[in-house]
């Protein structure tokens, strides 16, 4: 039986016996047709002639592409999706007794490229903070205090919105944060954040509060500020500051970590401040600073090129 016939049998199995959605079957058909053409280009006409090396080379071929044939390189996510279809096809062939060995079982998808966290230059962060506090009314005081807080200690947005007044110790300039899994950590706060929070507590929060609540950051109705509303505070401030890039609360967290490392902070200290369980998670930020150093070196050193 030909590979095309085996693929058709597999697709019928997905449709009739597995009840797969039409879009799923269509996606599998497209990916397996690509696989069939690849095997055909290697003069492989029967599934029992396919080896594990053939499957691995297929992934390499997908990532490399073929400009002459009009095939652009696929992204890692698309390669991984195609491999899922290929592996299920080979598993089906074993289950149906078409072949004795599943040659695709040990093949793993490519690891996705490690994405660098997005961070902002210090001057852009300062512009956002200034824009948040440009007006003198209760919500503006809250917005400035919130954004100063996020950048000052690298808190997650949920850590900030779940904060209670009693979690603050303005005398020692520290805050108790509750991170993932309920794990607590004590983090220092900078002077500008302390000043902004103090101004908000004196002139902003009393005007917003409408009922007894321990929450630090309040919405216009006097309740605890939501994650979505806190996110919008940042987006609005960034727009007022004239930034033409997408920002999120995590952008301030990334900027906090990157600026600390750029300033010479030890990665393990930054790990503790961020509340990462493993230093490996934090080390991705070192890639940012290394890239920055390369750029500076390339521009400044007379023998860099």
pLDDT tens string 87-114: 999 999 999 999 999 999 999 876 665 5
Contact by Cβ (8 Å): 270, 279: no
Instruction: Check pLDDT > 90 for residue 14.
Output: yes
Q: Report the catalytic residues.
A: 156, 180, 250, 253, 276, 285
- Tell me how many degrees the CA angle 87-88-90 measures, rounded to the nearest 5: 65
pLDDT the model gives residue 93: 95
pLDDT the model gives residue 49: 94
The burial of 197, by beta-carbon neighbours within 10 Å (0-12 exposed, 13-18 middle, 19 or more buried), is given as buried
Closest CA to 59 of 104, 2, 1, 119: 104
Separation of alpha carbons 181 and 164, rounded Å? 18
Q: Catalogue the E-assigned strands of the chain.
A: 168-169, 174-178, 184-188
pLDDT the model gives residue 126: 95
The residues, ordered by sequence, that sit 6+ positions from 129 with a Cβ below 8 Å of its Cβ are 144, 147, 148, 151, 192, 237
Ordered domains of the chain (ranges, CATH): 3-95 (1.10.150.130), 122-300 (1.10.443.10)
- Does residue 12 sit in helix, strand or coil? helix
Instruction: Check pLDDT > 90 for residue 143.
Output: yes
- Does residue 155 sit in helix, strand or coil? coil
Is pTM beyond 0.85? Reply is no
Angle between helices 122-132 and 227-240 (to 10 degrees): 110
């Amino acid at each position: 039986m030909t590979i095309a016939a085996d693929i058709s049998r597999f697709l019928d199995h997905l449709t009739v016996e597995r009840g797969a959605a039409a879009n799923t079957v269509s996606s599998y058909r497209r990916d397996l047709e690509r696989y069939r053409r690849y095997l055909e280009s290697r003069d492989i006409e029967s599934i029992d002639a396919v080896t594990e090396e053939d499957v691995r080379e297929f992934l390499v071929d997908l990532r490399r592409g073929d400009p002459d044939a009009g095939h652009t390189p696929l992204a890692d996510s698309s390669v991984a999706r195609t491999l899922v279809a290929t592996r299920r096809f080979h598993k089906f062939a074993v289950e149906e007794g078409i072949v004795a060995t599943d040659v695709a079982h040990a093949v793993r998808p490519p690891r996705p490229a490690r994405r660098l966290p997005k961070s902002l230059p210090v001057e852009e962060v300062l512009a956002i903070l200034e824009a948040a506090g440009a007006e003198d009314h209760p919500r503006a005081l809250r917005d400035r205090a919130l954004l100063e807080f996020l950048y000052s200690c690298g808190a997650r947005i949920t850590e900030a919105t779940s904060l209670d007044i009693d979690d603050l110790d303005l005398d020692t300039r520290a805050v108790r944060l509750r991170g993932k899994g309920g794990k607590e950590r004590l983090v220092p706060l900078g002077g500008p954040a302390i000043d902004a929070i103090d101004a908000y507590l004196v002139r902003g929060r009393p005007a917003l509060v409408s009922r007894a609540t321990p929450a630090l950051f309040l919405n216009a109705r006097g309740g605890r500020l939501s994650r979505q509303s806190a996110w919008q505070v940042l987006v609005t401030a960034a727009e007022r500051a004239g930034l033409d890039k997408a920002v999120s609360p995590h952008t301030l967290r990334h900027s906090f970590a990157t600026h600390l490392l750029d300033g010479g902070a030890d990665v393990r200290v930054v790990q503790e401040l961020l509340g990462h369980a493993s230093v490996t998670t934090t080390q991705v930020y070192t890639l940012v600073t290394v890239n920055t150093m390369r750029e500076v070196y390339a521009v400044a050193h007379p023998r860099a090129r």
